[in-house]
Each structure stands twice: as structure tokens, then as C-alpha cells.
Amino acid sequence: MNITVLPSTTINNKTGSWRSNRPNFLYDKCTACGICPRVCPEGVIYQTDEINALGKKPFDCDYDYCKGCGLCADVCPFKAIEMETEEK
């Protein structure tokens, strides 16, 4: 049985359903420093067009593809990302 997938098929296979935890981006704490997208292994963190309490455009992620690894929450210096248990 072939249990591997071909490379670069993430775009076709929405991998968000694999998660047991998910990041919650706290918009009003985000300083838009730009660190979290640099560590996301899936490249699914993006800057929104919202303006938060700090006058910044906060970051968020595409939950269709986020795998819930928690790296973004680990590196955020401003505690603007909290990991939560995924509700199925």
C-alpha cells in the first residue's frame, strides 16, 4: 500500500482536517512584526486588511491548510497567537 503522497499536492488536499490544535490569532495584540509567517512550515500565514487596536494590520492563517504545529505561537514575541484544542 502506498501511504505517501506526491510532493506539492498540499494545494489539492486540504490538510487542515488533520489538526488536533489550532492557532487563534489575537488581532489586537499583533504588532505586524512579520515573524510568524517566516516560520510557518505550510506558508499559510498572511496579513489581513483589518486595522487593530494598535493601528496595525494583524496576521491570520488559512485554516484549510494549517496543520496546528504551533510554531507560530511559539515564536510570537507578543503572545498574539494562542493554541487551542480543535473542535471537531
Alpha-carbon distance values, 4 to 7, 14, 69, 73 (Å): 9, 16, 20, 28
Of 7 and 41, nearer to ligand SF4 (C-beta) is: 41
Question: Of 21, 27, 14, 40, whose CA–CA distance to 83 is shortest?
Answer: 21
Of 14 and 78, nearer to ligand SF4 (C-beta) is: 78
The burial of 5, by beta-carbon neighbours within 10 Å (0-12 exposed, 13-18 middle, 19 or more buried), is given as exposed
Binding to ligand SF4 by CB under 6 A, coded x per residue (else -) over 35-64, reads xx---xxx-xx-------------x-x---
Of 2 and 60, nearer to ligand SF4 (C-beta) is: 60
Instruction: Give the footprint of ligand SF4 on this chain (CB under 6 A).
Output: 23, 25, 30-36, 40-42, 44-45, 59, 61, 66-72, 76, 78, 80-81
